[in-house]
Amino acid sequence: MSIKAALIDLSGTLHVEDDPTPNAVSALARHVTLQLRSGKASLIYIVYCILFRLRAAGVAVKFVTNTTKESRKTLHKRLCEIGFEVDASEIYSSLSAAVAFVEANKLNPYYLLSDDARQDFPPEDTYHYFDSVVVGLAPKAFNYEQMNKAFKVLLEQKGSQLVAVHQGKYYKRGDGLALGPGAFVKGLEYATGRTAKVIGKPNPYFFEGALAGRDPASCVMIGDDANDDIVGAMSVGMLAIQVKTGKYLPDVVPSPPPTALLENFAEAVDWIIQRNKQ
């Protein structure tokens, strides 16, 4: 079966913070015909060429991310400022999936989110008690007072829900790996006896939403995270390509193993195109 769509992880696969991922484009010069200049502009142009090749091959593209610090508007704006030509409709984040979950279940949560991410969610209903806690990546909110408030909501309100936008162990920043929200989600689970509803990768809820009705067997995930990207995608029947960029660690081996383990995003696109020619 040929590949009809690709879900492409953003952070660590295409970029780290405000810069394109160097290793993702270091081997791409063969794909462009002009003399490349050094610097960020050239890296962005190469990534653009790679994405163009993928789309020209008839493969639909969607960019997926567990990023929870930024609202959808801010994320799209930042990607455009970096230089990526991405339509807002091509972005599917765990934050947008969590918004849909909150609205569908008519929740009135206490939020452990960044101020920017909070903008995507419904306004707080001040006439009713909090009935849930929503946790994302919010370093400024992970202090004793706010964690204790979340603890009390979960402990004191019968039937209250703990909603984890995602529970990643760590993520990649410019200064290296940094602690993700997973430790704080697990702490609340331990203290309250609640089990979190996990929205983002690797949860099937996320991938099913991103696929939007497509046959998983005809889709591939490209990402750097062994668990969130590879195991998550394969658990719903997708193919999965792991790239050795971002937070890839050679000692962390996903089970089942990825469909392909490749050096970077460029090689992943080559692999897809060659497979579709067979």
pLDDT tens digits, one per residue of 221-254 = 999 999 999 999 999 999 999 999 888 889 999 9
Question: Does the structure show a pLDDT above 80 at 59?
Answer: yes
- How many beta carbons lie within 10 A of that of residue 205, not counting itself? 18
pTM of the model: 0.77
Higher pLDDT, 274 or 1: 274
pLDDT in tens, 169-184: 887 777 888 899 999 9
pLDDT in tens, 134-168: 999 999 999 999 999 999 999 988 889 999 998 88
Considering only 26-35, 49-58, 143-152, which range has the smallest mean pLDDT? 26-35
Grade residue 37 by pLDDT with cuts at 50, 70 and 90: very low
CA–CA dist 58, 146 (Å, integer): 48
Q: Which residues pair with 179 in a beta bridge?
A: 170
CA–CA dist 174, 19 (Å, integer): 9
- How many beta carbons lie within 10 A of that of residue 51, not counting itself? 21
Structural element, H or E, at residue 149: helix 144-156
Average pLDDT of span 246-265: 91
Using alpha carbons, select from 30, 12, 19 the residue that is nearest to residue 266. Answer: 30
CA–CA dist 232, 170 (Å, integer): 16
Q: How far is CA 211 from the centre of its chain?
A: 14
Using alpha carbons, select from 14, 17, 134, 117 the residue that is nearest to residue 73. Answer: 117
Q: What pLDDT sits at residue 29?
A: 38
Question: Does the structure show a pLDDT above 90 at 67?
Answer: no
CA–CA dist 56, 123 (Å, integer): 42
Percent of the chain scored above 70 by pLDDT? 85
Grade residue 27 by pLDDT with cuts at 50, 70 and 90: very low
Q: What pLDDT sits at residue 19?
A: 57
Q: What pLDDT sits at residue 89?
A: 86
Q: What pLDDT sits at residue 46?
A: 66
CA of 69: how far to CAs of 116, 136, 139, 232, in Å? Answer: 7, 7, 9, 21
Average pLDDT of span 31-45: 48
Q: What pLDDT sits at residue 261?
A: 97
Cα-based torsion angle of the residue sequence 63, 83, 73, 173 in order, rounded to the nearest 10 degrees: 70
Average pLDDT of span 184-210: 94
> Could you tell me the two tokens for 110?
């206490």
Query: Does the N-terminal peptide bond of residue 202 adopt cis geometry, omega within 30 degrees of 0?
Result: yes
- How many beta carbons lie within 10 A of that of residue 277, not counting itself? 8
Question: Does the structure show a pLDDT above 50 at 5?
Answer: yes
Q: What pLDDT sits at residue 210?
A: 93
CA–CA dist 17, 275 (Å, integer): 32
> Could you tell me the two tokens for 67?
């990023």
pLDDT in tens, 68-111: 888 888 988 887 776 666 788 888 999 989 999 999 999 999 99
Percent of the chain scored above 90 by pLDDT? 54
